[in-house]
């Protein structure tokens, strides 16, 4: 086991698994703080993964792919806002609709546009290559972990800090927190809580779209049906555990990502896949148990 953990190629794989969970969780954090119960991260992420491939394939640039992913995620956010904020639909029902819509829509578009079922792979899909950081790359372990990752990994690290500052010092960040805590205070101040929540949903969609792009045009250069594979749900758990605080969220998302990566790795050691697939969820349960135990102790 120790050999696996210290294996350089394992270390190098961790950020690939952390990035999508972290990006989606940051998006979820914005919704959580704004008082929008959004468990549609999975669907927003899957949409982003598909449109990243679409943009990269037809646009001929990985950046067009990332942009398409962001815009498609925002579109899902807008759909959420329309049905939840404007038409007053229950957020859980709307989330489920978003998740089902994303699964169906991406499968349908895969056949309609690329005329394939299951997966689309093509040399014309450009991907984010590894970025070597001079100096860091030479360090043992840390170099493996932090250097040679995709641009989106570095972007996600910056976004953790940026979101922290955003909540503390930005006008919209302040209003998002107010929309989540006491929206009546915003109304009394002449600001519509739902407009603030719309902004939160769009930002969340953008980040989930990027999370999808990491899956389809950074980890690999292809789209597979349902390729988000539950990572959006793990991001939801990370958001709820940390109540949307960016810094704790970073640690939880990193833990979940590392376990996700480990589960992939141990498949090579003869463990049945059904068992290794359970690992991220087991880790979630363990963290949930430990945290609730700590909270109970503190409450005493």
Residues at the interface with another protein (CB under 8 A): 169-172, 174-175, 177-178, 181-182, 184-191, 300
Are 151 and 52 in contact by the 8 Å Cβ rule? The answer is no
Q: State the nearest-atom distance from the C-beta of 132 to another protein, in Å.
A: 32
Instruction: Please say which residue, 121 or 243, places its beta carbon nearer to another protein.
Output: 243
Q: State the nearest-atom distance from the C-beta of 176 to another protein, in Å.
A: 11
Are 19 and 150 in contact by the 8 Å Cβ rule? The answer is yes
Contacts 24+ apart (CB under 8 A), 63-67: 65/125, 65/126, 65/213, 65/217, 66/128, 66/152, 66/210, 66/213, 66/217
Are 151 and 131 in contact by the 8 Å Cβ rule? The answer is yes
Instruction: Please say which residue, 40 or 173, places its beta carbon nearer to another protein.
Output: 173
Measured distance CA(76)–CA(74) in Å, rounded: 5
Instruction: Please say which residue, 164 or 177, places its beta carbon nearer to another protein.
Output: 177
Instruction: Please say which residue, 7 or 181, places its beta carbon nearer to another protein.
Output: 181
Residues in the chain: 300
CB crowding 56-89: b at 16 or more within 10 Å, else e = bbeeeebebbbbbbbebbbbbbebbbebbbeeee
Instruction: Please say which residue, 90 or 132, places its beta carbon nearer to another protein.
Output: 90
Q: State the nearest-atom distance from the C-beta of 34 to another protein, in Å.
A: 13
Q: State the nearest-atom distance from the C-beta of 195 to another protein, in Å.
A: 12
Instruction: Please say which residue, 159 or 217, places its beta carbon nearer to another protein.
Output: 159
Instruction: Please say which residue, 86 or 170, places its beta carbon nearer to another protein.
Output: 170
Are 198 and 81 in contact by the 8 Å Cβ rule? The answer is yes
Are 24 and 235 in contact by the 8 Å Cβ rule? The answer is yes
Beta bridge partners of 131: 149
Measured distance CA(223)–CA(97) in Å, rounded: 22
Measured distance CA(259)–CA(285) in Å, rounded: 12
Q: State the nearest-atom distance from the C-beta of 190 to another protein, in Å.
A: 3
Q: State the nearest-atom distance from the C-beta of 173 to another protein, in Å.
A: 9
- Within 8 A by CB and 6+ apart from 281, the residues are 230, 234
Q: State the nearest-atom distance from the C-beta of 23 to another protein, in Å.
A: 22
Q: Which of 17, 51, 39, 41 is nearest to 213 (CA)?
A: 51
Instruction: Please say which residue, 189 or 270, places its beta carbon nearer to another protein.
Output: 189
Q: State the nearest-atom distance from the C-beta of 201 to another protein, in Å.
A: 18
């Amino acid at each position: 086991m120790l050999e696996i953990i210290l294996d350089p190629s394992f270390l190098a794989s961790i950020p690939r698994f952390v990035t999508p969970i972290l990006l989606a969780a940051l998006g979820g954090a914005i919704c959580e703080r704004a008082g929008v119960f959004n468990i549609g991260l999975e669907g927003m992420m899957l949409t982003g993964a598909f449109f990243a491939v679409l943009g990269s394939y037809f646009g001929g640039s990985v950046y067009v792919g990332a942009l398409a992913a962001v815009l498609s995620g925002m579109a899902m956010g807008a759909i959420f806002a329309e049905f939840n904020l404007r038409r007053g639909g229950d957020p859980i029902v709307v989330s489920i609709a978003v998740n089902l819509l994303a699964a169906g829509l991406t499968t349908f578009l895969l056949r309609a546009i690329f005329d394939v079922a299951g997966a689309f792979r093509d040399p014309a899909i450009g991907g984010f290559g590894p970025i070597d950081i001079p100096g860091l790359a030479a360090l043992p372990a840390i170099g493996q972990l932090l250097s040679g990752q995709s641009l989106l990994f570095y972007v996600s690290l910056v976004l953790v800090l940026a979101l922290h500052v955003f909540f503390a010092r930005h006008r919209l960040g302040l209003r998002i927190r107010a929309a989540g805590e006491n929206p009546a205070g915003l109304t009394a101040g002449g600001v519509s809580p739902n407009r603030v929540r719309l902004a939160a949903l769009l930002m969340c969609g953008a980040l989930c779209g990027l999370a999808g792009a990491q899956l389809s045009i950074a980890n690999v250069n292809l789209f597979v049906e349902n390729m988000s594979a539950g990572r959006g749900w793990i991001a939801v758990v990370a958001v709820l555990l940390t109540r949307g605080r960016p810094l704790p969220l970073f640690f939880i998302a990193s833990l979940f990502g590392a376990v996700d990566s480990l589960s992939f790795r141990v498949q090579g050691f003869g463990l049945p896949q059904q068992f290794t697939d359970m690992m991220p969820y087991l880790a979630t349960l363990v963290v949930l148990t430990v945290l609730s135990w700590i909270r109970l102790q503190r409450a005493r």
